[in-house]
């Protein structure tokens, strides 16, 4: 066997050298966090990526189509939804009454009773005039106003500015109700000649006790009266107002034929010439 020289020593690779305990790197003990429910990886998720392997590729989804209100109402049942959204069914009669009241506006061409003037003339002042005013107030429910003579008539014993008559003006529902009460006193018939070209009419009552509901009072006596009524259309206020007064056109005024037809239809009165 050959002997190796003493001066040479065997060489070792740096990788094969073992570190001594003093030269070894110090080890640091770290606390490992306990796995929680939120940090536990799912079996389908790999460590390198958070996307699961078996998940399908993402696709764009269209938003749900909005349904009509009618479809939603039909789909909902009485038991579903909040308590506040529940509504009790409205009876059909109430709906019909509401629609009739709202969707029937008055036309500007419709005729109406503008006013009714009731006049009683006694021809003298004093007690006869006071009795006439009492009778008129009982009939109409309004306090009458007096009318004075414009000139002196010695033959009739009338002096100028002497109160010789009383009158009452009725409008609106009071005027219509008064006409309905007084038409039976003349047999529900008006003379054709009592209408003027603008549709206004007048008639007279010889005895106030002919009106239904009136009784004879010996303290008041019996007296007659004249009744005048005007027929007009909405909008006649422009001819009576104080400011910016204007004239009503001829096409908007009531005619004699229109007024006669209106009285027949509204009050059931016959219009014609008196039979001899």
- The answer to whether 238 and 119 are in contact (CB under 8 A) is no
Whether the model clears a pTM of 0.75, i.e. scores above it, the answer is no
Q: What is the CA radius of gyration of the chain?
A: 53
Asked if residue 146 is part of any domain, the answer here is: no
pLDDT tens, 154-205?
998 899 999 999 999 999 999 999 999 999 999 999 999 999 999 999 999 9
* Count of alpha carbons within 13 angstroms of residue 185, beta-carbon side: 21
Number of independent structural domains in the chain: 1
Asked if residue 193 is part of any domain, the answer here is: yes
Asked if residue 227 is part of any domain, the answer here is: yes
pLDDT at 90 over 80: no
Look up tokens 């008639």; give the residue. 203
**Residue 119 DSSP SS3:** strand
Instruction: Give the model's confidence band at 16: pLDDT under 50 very low, under 70 low, under 90 confident, else very high.
Output: very low
Asked if residue 207 is part of any domain, the answer here is: yes
Asked if residue 171 is part of any domain, the answer here is: yes
Angstrom CA distances, 214 to 185, 229, 249, 265, stand at 11, 22, 42, 27
Asked if residue 202 is part of any domain, the answer here is: yes
Instruction: Give the model's confidence band at 64: pLDDT under 50 very low, under 70 low, under 90 confident, else very high.
Output: low
pLDDT tens, 160-170?
999 999 999 99
Asked if residue 68 is part of any domain, the answer here is: no
- The answer to whether 148 and 163 are in contact (CB under 8 A) is yes
Residue 137: phi and psi, rounded to 5, are -70, -35
d(CA 166, CA 145): 5
| CATH number of the CATH domain containing 187 | 3.30.1440.10
Q: Name the token pair of 106.
A: 């008055």
Range of the domain at 192: 112-119+167-272
Q: Which whole number is the average pLDDT over 58-86?
A: 50
- The answer to whether 186 and 208 are in contact (CB under 8 A) is no
Asked if residue 265 is part of any domain, the answer here is: yes
pLDDT at 215 over 50: yes
């Amino acid at each position: 066997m050959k002997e190796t020289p003493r001066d040479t020593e065997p060489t070792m690779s740096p990788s094969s050298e073992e570190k001594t305990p003093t030269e070894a790197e110090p080890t640091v003990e770290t606390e490992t966090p306990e796995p929680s429910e939120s940090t536990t990886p799912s079996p389908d998720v790999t460590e390198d990526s958070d996307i699961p392997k078996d998940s399908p590729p993402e696709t764009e989804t269209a938003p749900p189509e909005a349904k009509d209100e009618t479809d939603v109402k039909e789909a909902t049942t009485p038991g579903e939804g909040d308590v506040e959204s529940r509504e009790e069914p409205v009876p059909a009669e109430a709906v019909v009454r509401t629609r009739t009241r709202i969707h029937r506006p008055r036309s500007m061409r419709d005729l109406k009773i503008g006013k009714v003037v009731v006049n009683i003339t006694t021809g003298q002042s004093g007690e006869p005039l006071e009795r006439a005013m009492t009778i008129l107030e009982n009939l109409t429910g309004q306090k009458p106003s007096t009318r004075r003579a414009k000139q002196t008539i010695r033959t009739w014993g009338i002096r100028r500015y002497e109160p010789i008559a009383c009158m009452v003006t009725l409008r609106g529902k009071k005027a219509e109700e008064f006409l309905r009460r007084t038409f039976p006193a003349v047999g529900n018939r008006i003379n054709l000649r009592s209408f003027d070209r603008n549709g206004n009419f007048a008639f007279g009552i010889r005895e106030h006790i002919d009106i239904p509901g009136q009784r004879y009072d010996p303290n008041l006596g019996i007296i007659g009266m004249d009744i005048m009524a005007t027929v007009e259309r909405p909008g006649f206020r422009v001819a009576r107002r104080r400011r910016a007064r204007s004239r009503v056109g001829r096409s908007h005024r009531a005619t004699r034929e229109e007024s006669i037809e209106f009285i027949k239809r509204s009050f059931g009165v016959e219009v014609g010439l008196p039979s001899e």
